[in-house]
Every structure is written in structure tokens, then in C-alpha cells.
Amino acid sequence: MTSVEVEDLVQRWLTERSRRLTGYGLQVKRGATRQEDEWWYVVVVPDKDGVRATQYAELLAEVEEELEAQAPQEKILLVPALVGV
């Protein structure tokens, strides 16, 4: 997969789950994705300020598990970042 394909895959999962579960959206920071060995590091930001860090981290962990089940050949780590980063 290319970095754009990985970003698109992650964004689809985030779009389907984040707002429904939390009341806010999560967005892939386009162009910030990096690959090191077999791992993809995808930066994710909430679409508003004041997001509870624990809820944000739990949601990212859930999405990582779902992505692993969906695409086990891809090793994807979601990296939390603050709005405006």
C-alpha cells in the first residue's frame, strides 16, 4: 500500500466510528504518514478543541484493533496529535 492508500483506509474507519461514538470527528493529518519497516504511522487529530485525552486514546486503540482485523497484513499505528499541530 502507498501512504495515500493507508491514509484513505484509516480515514474511512475514523469517519464511520468517531463522530457516532464521541460527538466529534477524527481526521487523518494528510501528508504526515510515515512508514518505518513494516509499520505505518498515521497522525490523527480531533476536529475540535477540548477532547478528553482518555476517550481519544481509547477510540484510536479500538480503531487500530478493527484495522488489524480488516487488513492484518498492514501494521498501522495511529498517532494522536492536538488540533492545529
CATH number at 39 reads 3.30.70
Q: Give the count of domains, the chain.
A: 1
pLDDT over 80 at 35, yes or no: yes
Domain that holds residue 55: 3-80
CA 49 to chain CA centroid, Å, is: 17
Question: What is the Cα–Cα distance from 65 to 78, expressed in whole angstroms?
Answer: 11
pTM: 0.85
**Residue 70: band (very low, low, confident or very high) from pLDDT cuts 50, 70, 90:** confident
Tell whether 35 is covered by a domain.
yes
Number of H helices, E strands in the chain: 2, 4
85 lies in a domain?
no
- What confidence score (pLDDT) does residue 19 get? 66
